Chain A
Amino acid sequence: MQMSTPKAGAPAHNAGAPAAVELRGITKRYGSIVVCDDVRLTVHRGEIHGLLGQNGAGKSTLVKILIGLAQRDAGEILLEGRTVDISDPLAAADLGIAMVHQHFSLVEELTVWENVTLGEAGRPDARRTRDLVRDIGLRYGLDVDPDARVEDLSTGERQRVEIIKCLRRDPSLLILDEPTSVLTLAESRELFTVLRHVAQGEGKTVILISHKLDEILSATDHVTIMRSGRIVAQRATAATDERELAREMVGRELSKWVAASALGDSDALIDPSLSTDPAMLSPVEPIHEDEFPVRLRIHEARVSRDGRPLLQGLSLDLRAGEILGLAGVEGNGQQVLGDLLSSLVELDSGTVEMDGVALATGRPGVMHMAGIGVIPEDRHASGCVLDMSVAENLVMSTVESVARRGFVSRKAIRANAERLIEQFEIATPSPDTPMRQLSGGNQQKVVLARELSLNPRVLVAAYPTRGLDVGAIEYMTERLHDAAASGIAVLLISTELEEILTLSHHIAVIHRGSIVGQMRRVDVDAERLGLMMGGQVV
């Protein structure tokens, strides 16, 4: 993923002028856990400053403190050399700080200008707001029709609306949290061009939060790397490279499983010659087509909800022993596909077959009984029950196996839990601990352990590493690889191309509810993949 943006090098800093943002010794604790530890950070006017770190490194907490969503326990915040107190998001807005969050908050039924004016006091002024949207669009290259309905916009366009919502207040500091996680390659490039203009053309300051190395390298002037709540390194972007950033971010050399995927380096995955690092090579051995029998066949699946088509004739073959990576921009039907294979959705037409036998869709437990294990997209929604214990979650779908004459044996539940906790290295104080109290990575391990303990024939893993730290990513990746090696047909749904490239034997691209293309891992070509994800049949 080469994201070249026009870069004129870091602007020269006037040594005399105060920094746009200066954090002095910011510390934040939640209970006994220190999430930000004596953070010192200086960001100058007119620069794009990258904030790099794994999940849980403290990036989010740091910016929450900056926009008033969290209060620091110690330290000082200076804007343009003045000490400020940011008690809530309103105070942050008054100080000229704006943030584009990872998840959008747009009202889909309303038009762009209506969304922009939302939250204003007084009567909405349609003409003025429309002009405003156009002006900002022209000024920054954020082209979007003010009268379009948000529900009709692509994800990239929606993000533009979010950015316009921020820019209309003419902030001096713009913060973006993982902005490219929902974008196609082309959209990401456009975004970085806009940011460059915001920083250099308009003299504003931009903080870009990311865990993707190539993004940081191509879009920023300076980069600060956080690990476990501390700042471990600060570099001029021009003076560093991918390898150094990776090492600083993780604190160690990575195994072959995650080197590329966790760090967002798909160039190395696609063309190993681009990287000098042997660890960046994909460990997946190519397998020959048609070598294994088809396990799961989805044929011409169609689903609509409230008149909106979600799956539009999706067909997919899943073979035993192979990992099929389903790439695509988020919101193109991945969720409903996961729901379909969890018996949560009934097909309007089309079939789902397991080893040639049709399965009833939408009927409780049918997919599960047929041997389809699912690590769902949102584990809290259907993967686990947060208010039940770890041990109970581990037997959720097979409670009969630990019961006698209708009574659940606590001993059997506990024995099962202890076995799986050890086997899958789940970190929990006890089997009786409520699921809610586990970390995301360990909750995910519980789901994985339960699904794999049932000896599934098919395993669906939707965004299996989302929100996990590198250690947990490494773990999940290895387990998925092992699952396929043991003969399970694995469907890997992800928006992270790197994750898909690391693991998959085959790659299919989903767009607007159908498969637009399919290729073997060894034939992958980044440009073509990118175009397909944008919906073009190549």
Chain B
Amino acid sequence: MPARWVGVMSTIGLYALSIAVALGLAGVLVSLTGASPLDAVQAIFQGSLSDASALGLTLDKAAPLLIVAVGTCVATSAGLFSIGQEGQVVIGATVGATVAIYLHGPGPLVLIVTLFGAALGGAAWAAVAALLFYWRGVPVVISTLLLIYIAYQVVFYAVTQPWFLMETGRNVAAPQSDQIRPDAWLPRIGEYPGLNFSLMVVIAVVLAIGTKVVLDRTTWGFRLRMLGLNRNAARRAGVSAVLLGSGALMISGAFAGLAGGALLTGGNHRLQPGISENVGWDGLLVALVARNNPVVAIPVAFFFGVLRAGGGFLASTGVPRYIVDVVTAILVLAVVFPPAYQYLRREARARRLARSLAKAGGSA
């Protein structure tokens, strides 16, 4: 058997083993809570894929994840590892809610401006990280991460201030904003009980494919990939890392912000501190699993959508919500584990060799 096939087979085997272990572990956990693991699997299936409306729910859950993931692909192509999508989602939703609540005018126009504002908000939040990086050299990973916590504070502040977004006539015990105007909600395609889903699903898929084309086929995408793959070669060829890199980071933020706007106008219809539901984090994971390919991110986001939709249903069958989260996390780990494991094994082998060389007194 050629070496390449051995590699492919061992990769498939590793995935199978990893997912099997995850399922086993999840089963044990579910049994510990007194429920039957088989019932749990069935519940996940029922909640996500069993019929048209369940499928629609899965698509709804997948769409924001996909948008976040596609934005992440743009930043990663430029060689920037941003992990602050969660914060950008929250800020996007906050800016969107402000626009939707205070802007008057025809519904569709308000919707468009809301989504646009959400994207701008996310971009601005990412711009802070870009500024810190290119001006002061603060690592993007750190600044984007810390900006998440500031974003949480911002949204909480917004919905607790009567002059800003706090729900009229409510106390601060359950802070949230007013509902936005129904004519500024995202339109839905199809009707219950048939297949029905938010327009955001279509937008997400179009964005994924469009981004792939832009990255692969335009001069801008060409330069971005060059920058991501070899900074020095790009610089010599006239690519400004500051401009292009900041741009990529802000686009990534805009996508996350748009996802926040979508959660607002397509789901919650009001701003709540927990509106993001970890969409930023999971979207980042989708991009990781899809190895930064926006088109591959489509099925991966769908898989995550299944877990989210099915997880909700599972919770409604009596399995505690936190167990559902743990099960989801285990399944995600199972998918992320094989590539990470292969990487670590390569590293360890190289390190072992280096160590034995050092001990042998030679040099390499």
The answer to whether A396 and B359 have CB atoms under 8 Å apart is no
- Asked if residues A90 and B236 are in contact (CB atoms below 8 Å), the reply is no
A67 touches B233 (CB 8 A): no
B364 at the interface (CB under 8 A from A): yes
Given A89-B356, A364-B241, A400-B219, verify A384-B233 contact (CB < 8 Å): yes
Q: For the complex, is A169 an interface residue (Cβ under 8 Å from B)?
A: yes
Tell which of B219, B229, B360, B364 touches A90, judged by Cβ atoms closer than 8 Å.
B360
- Checking B238, B356, B360 against A368 with a beta-carbon cut-off of 8 angstroms, the contacting residue is B238
With a CB–CB cut-off of 8 A, which chain B residues contact A104?
363
Q: Are A406 and B219 in contact (CB under 8 A)?
A: yes
- Please tell me if A388 contacts chain B, counting CB pairs below 8 Å: yes
Report the nearest A residue to B232, measured CB to CB. Answer: A382
> A89-B360, A92-B360, A119-B358 are known contacts. Are A382 and B233 too (CB-CB below 8 A)?
yes
Min C-beta distance of A359 to chain B, whole Å: 13
Q: Report the bound CA distance from A165 to B364 in whole Å.
A: 13
Please give me the residue from chain A that is nearest to B243 by CB atom.
Answer: A364
A508 within 8 A of B: no
Let me know if A367 is at the binding interface, CB within 8 A: yes
A368 to B223, CA, bound (A): 15
- What range describes how many residues of B lie at the interface? 20 to 34
Kindly provide the distance from the CB of B25 to the nearest chain A CB, expressed in whole angstroms.
Answer: 36
Q: Name the interface residues of A164-211: CB closer than 8 Å to any CB of B.
A: 165-166, 168-169
Q: Does B233 contact A385, Cβ atoms closer than 8 Å?
A: yes
Interface residues on chain A, number (Cβ under 8 Å): 51
Say which residue of A168, A365, A366, A408 sits within 8 Å of B218 (CB atoms).
Answer: A408
Q: Is the CB of B237 within 8 A of A392?
A: no
Interface status of A20 (Cβ within 8 A of chain B)? no
Min CB gap B216→A, angstroms: 9
- B359 lies within 8 A of A90 (CB): yes
Question: Which residue of B219, B234, B356 contacts A403 across the interface (Cβ within 8 Å)?
Answer: B219
The CA-CA distance from A299 to B237 in the complex, in Å, is: 24
Q: Which of B235, B240, B241 neighbours the largest number of chain A CB atoms within 10 Å of its CB?
A: B235
In the complex, B330 has a CB within 8 A of chain A: no
> In the complex the two chains form, what is the Cα distance from A147 to B215 in whole Å?
55
A169 CB to closest chain B CB (Å) equals 5
Kindly state whether residue B222 has any CB partner on chain A within 8 Å.
yes
Once the chains bind, are A118 and B358 in contact (CB under 8 Å)?
yes
Residue B41 CB within 8 A of the other chain: no
* Residues of A88-130 whose CB lies within 8 A of B: 88-90, 92-93, 98-101, 103-106, 118-119
Residues of chain B contacted by A343 (CB below 8 angstroms): 235-236
Contacts of B235 in A (CB 8 A): 342-344, 364-365, 382
CA distance A346 to B219 in the complex (A): 27
| A-side contacts of B364, CB under 8 Å | 69, 101, 105
Contacts of B356 in A (CB 8 A): 88-90
- Bound: A105/B353 CA distance, A: 14
Q: SS class of chain B's interface: helix, strand, loop or mixed? A: helix
Q: A92-B360, A162-B363, A165-B361 are in contact. Are A382 and B236 (CB under 8 A)?
A: yes
Residue numbers in A under 8 Å from B237 (CB-CB): 365, 368, 396-397
**Among the listed A89, A162, A381, A397, which residue makes an inter-chain contact with B357, where contact means beta carbons less than 8 Å apart?**
A89
> Contacts A365-B238, A392-B222, A400-B219 given: A381-B359 contact, CB under 8 Å?
no
Residues of A within 8 A of B229 (CB): 385-388
Asked if B361 contacts A166 (CB within 8 A), the reply is: yes
A446 to chain B, nearest CB (A): 12
**Residue B239 interfacial (CB < 8 Å):** yes
Q: Does A314 contact B (CB under 8 A)?
A: no
User: A398's closest neighbor in chain B, by CB?
Assistant: B237
Chain A residue contacts of B359, Cβ below 8 A: 89-90, 93, 119
Cα–Cα, bound, A323→B232 (Å): 26
- Distance A119 CA – B237 CA, assembled complex (angstroms): 42
Judging by beta carbons under 8 Å apart, are B238 and A369 in contact?
yes
Q: B residues within 8 A CB of A387?
A: 229
How many Å lie between the Cα of A318 and that of B237 in the bound state? Answer: 22
Min CB distance B239 to A, Å, is: 6
A-B contact pairs, 22 of them (CB 8 A): A69-B357, A69-B364, A89-B359, A90-B359, A93-B360, A98-B362, A101-B364, A119-B359, A162-B363, A365-B236, A365-B238, A365-B239, A368-B237, A374-B236, A383-B233, A386-B229, A387-B229, A397-B238, A406-B218, A406-B219, A407-B219, A408-B218
Give the B-binding residues of A (Cβ under 8 A). Answer: 67-69, 88-90, 92-93, 98-101, 103-106, 118-119, 162, 165-166, 168-169, 342-344, 364-369, 374, 381-388, 392, 396-397, 399-400, 403, 406-408, 410
Beyond the given pairs A67-B360, A364-B238, 4 more chain A to chain B contacts, judged by CB atoms under 8 angstroms and listed by A's residue number, are A93-B361, A103-B363, A385-B226, A408-B218
